[in-house]
Amino acid sequence: MRGEWIIDPFVKELVQIEASALKLLSETKIKVPKLIDSGLDENGLAFVETELWGGLPGSRVREECRMPDGEKHVDTGECTLCEEKAWANAKSYITNVVLPEFEKLRSNTMGLDGKLVPPPWVRYHDKRPTWVPKTSDTDRYVFCNWDVGPHNMMFEDGTLEVIGAYDWEGAGFLPPEFQFVNISRQEFDAQFEDVPKVRRLIELLDA
C-alpha cells in the first residue's frame, strides 16, 4: 500500500480562523500564544506567526519522567504518571478557565470573521465545498472549539502545570452542541463513528 498526501480543502480558511481566534482570545483569561503576524504570503498561501513558548507539548509529556530529581516516578523510559498528572491539570484548566470564558463569548452569526469550517467528522460525512454561516436574531451562538484537549496544551517542565493552549483553527461561534473536549486520540477518532450525532450537527448547521 502506498500512502498519499491529503490536503484539507479548507486549509486556507482554517489558518485564517486560527489568526482570528488568537486575536479574540487574547482579550480573555485563556492563555494563548501572542499573534505576531498573519495574512497571505507572496504565493497567496495563508500563514500565522506566533510567539514561541518554552515548555512541553502535551504529546511529549509521557516520553520520560518530568519531575525534578528526587521526585521522579521512574528512572528511565516513559512515565504514565506524569501524563496522568498533566492530563488532570489540563482537565481542570479546561473546566475552570477555558469553558467559562467560551461561555462569555457570543454572536448572532456562525463561524468567525465570515468563515465557517465544521469539525472534520462533519466534513467527513458531508462533502459540500463551502459552508454558509447562518445568522440569528439573538446572540445564540457560543464560542466553541472542536479540538480542545491536553494534546493542544503546553506544560511546565517539572510541575506539569498548564502554560496555555494553542492550535485554534477549530474555533468559531456555533450552537453549543459543537463544543468538544477530546482528552485522547481515541475520543477524537470516535467522533467520526457517531453518525446520529453527526447528522444532528449537520441539521444545526443548516437550521
Residues 111-163: tens digit of each pLDDT? 999 999 999 999 999 999 999 999 999 999 999 999 999 999 999 999 999 99
User: What's the pLDDT tens digit per position in 75-122?
Assistant: 889 999 999 999 999 999 999 999 999 999 999 999 999 999 999 999
Cell of 160: 506539569
**What is the per-residue pLDDT across 15-58, written as a single tens digit (0 to 9) for each?**
999 999 999 999 999 999 999 999 999 999 999 999 999 999 99
Residue 183 binned pLDDT confidence (cut-offs 50, 70, 90):
confident
Report the alpha-carbon distance of residue 192 to residue 36 in Å, rounded.
34
Give the confidence band of 185 by pLDDT, cuts at 50, 70, 90: confident
Question: 76 Cβ partners below 8 Å, 6+ apart?
Answer: 64
Strand partners, 171: 145
Q: Say yes or no to pLDDT of 187 above 60.
A: yes
CB atoms within 10 A of CB 65: 19
pLDDT above 50 for 1:
no
Sign of CA dihedral 59, 64, 66, 71: positive
Q: From residue 86, how far is each of 33, 59, 108, 162, 201 by CA, in Å?
A: 19, 11, 36, 8, 31
C-alpha 184: how far from chain center? 13
* C-alpha closest to that of 94 among 142, 150, 144: 150
Please tell me the predicted confidence (pLDDT) of residue 168.
97
CA–CA gap between residue 161 and residue 97 (Å, rounded): 13
**DSSP code, position 76:** S
